[in-house]
Amino acid sequence: MKILSQNTAFGGMQGVFSHESDVCKTEMAFAVFVPPQAISEPRPVLWYLSGLTCTHANVMDKGEYRRLAAELGLIIVCPDTSPRGNDVPDELTNWKMGKGAGMYLNATEMPWSEHFQMYSYITEELPALIASQFRADMTRQGIFGHSMGGHGALTIALKNPERFKSCSAFAPIVSPLKADWTQDAFEKYLGPDRANWRPYDACALIEDGARFPEFLIDQGKADSFLETGLQPWLLEEAVKGTDIGLTLRQHERYDHSYYFISSFMDDHLRWHADRL
């Protein structure tokens, strides 16, 4: 693991690191905030998954999480959104595909399958590295994210309920099978058979029997992607008749930006801390 930067913040440490990923077959960067309590004892881990076009840096620079994370004693891990590097395939004119748009899935179609193994990276390889390099209590993990990262958080939690004790999302893509900005990427990553898409669709996972105790979701009503891309009402429909708790809060005037995310970041951190 390489140290790219380390800075003191609120008595803790904000670091950026990189390592050679075996599953993504390229160097991957990630950010970690370690609270001051980790000096003396292992602390719970909260994973934040970013959205389309983002890197680890967007939430680190604009998410405003460090003050309260330090107070609550939470380790915050912010992975990148996709593999990168000169050998990694990309579509330079398509921001919904390739670098910055890994969709938190394991691609099965060439040329994407060689590098785009983000599901395994987030659920297996990076957690092992975090466990070995930081004073982290891996028995207490939560996960949240924004947009594409919200999709990732929901699906990863639903498929790993024994690992994660909490899950929330800001403006998540709840059904990539129906969202207008994911279908092209899913077909290229996973092929045309939509049955292969269902393991990466929160609503489909719930329909197919996956369960998680409860979700917190915040959604801005002024979000330009709301009607055709995010569609949180589909998740409301999916959880009906199940024992999954859903707190869906919709906010007037808020859009899809980090102004929205930072406005409700404290609520999400406290939500996770209460459950971790």
Write down the catalytic residue from 115, 146, 151, 256: 256
The Cα 209–Cα 211 span in angstroms is 6
Cα 48 from chain centroid (whole Å): 5
Q: What would the pLDDT profile of 99-157 be if each residue is shown by its tens digit?
A: 999 999 999 999 999 999 999 999 999 999 999 999 999 999 999 999 999 999 999 99
Beta bridge partners of 43: 136
Nearest to 48 by CA among 66, 27, 36: 66
**Which pLDDT score, from 0 to 100, does residue 49 have?**
98
| Per-residue pLDDT at 234 exceeds 90 | yes
Q: What would the pLDDT profile of 58-88 be if each residue is shown by its tens digit?
A: 999 999 999 999 999 999 999 999 999 999 9
Taking all residues of the chain, what is their mean pLDDT, rounded to a whole number?
98
**Which pLDDT score, from 0 to 100, does residue 197 have?**
98
For the question of residue 256 being annotated catalytic, the response is yes
DSSP at 97: S
| Per-residue pLDDT at 181 exceeds 90 | no
For the question of residue 223 being annotated catalytic, the response is yes
The CATH fold of domain 2-274: Rossmann fold (3.40.50)
The Cα 178–Cα 181 span in angstroms is 9
In single-letter form, the type of residue at position 97 comes to M
Name the pLDDT band for 231 (thresholds 50, 70, 90).
very high
Give this prediction's pTM: 0.97
DSSP at 100: T
For the question of residue 251 being annotated catalytic, the response is no
| Per-residue pLDDT at 244 exceeds 90 | yes
pLDDT, average across residues 184-211 = 98
The Cα 271–Cα 11 span in angstroms is 22
pLDDT, average across residues 85-96 = 95
**Which pLDDT score, from 0 to 100, does residue 116 have?**
98
- Could you please report the per-residue DSSP string of 129-186? HHHHHS-EEEEEEEEEEETHHHHHHHHHHHH-TTTEEEEEEES----TTT-TTTHHHH
The DSSP H or E segment spanning 59 is: helix 57-62
Domain boundaries, the chain: 2-274
Q: Where are the beta strands (DSSP E) in the chain?
A: 2-9, 12-21, 26-34, 43-49, 75-79, 136-146, 164-170, 214-220, 245-251
3-state SS class at 55: coil
Write down the catalytic residue from 90, 223, 268, 272: 223
Write down the catalytic residue from 21, 50, 147, 175: 147
Nearest to 118 by CA among 132, 135, 98: 98
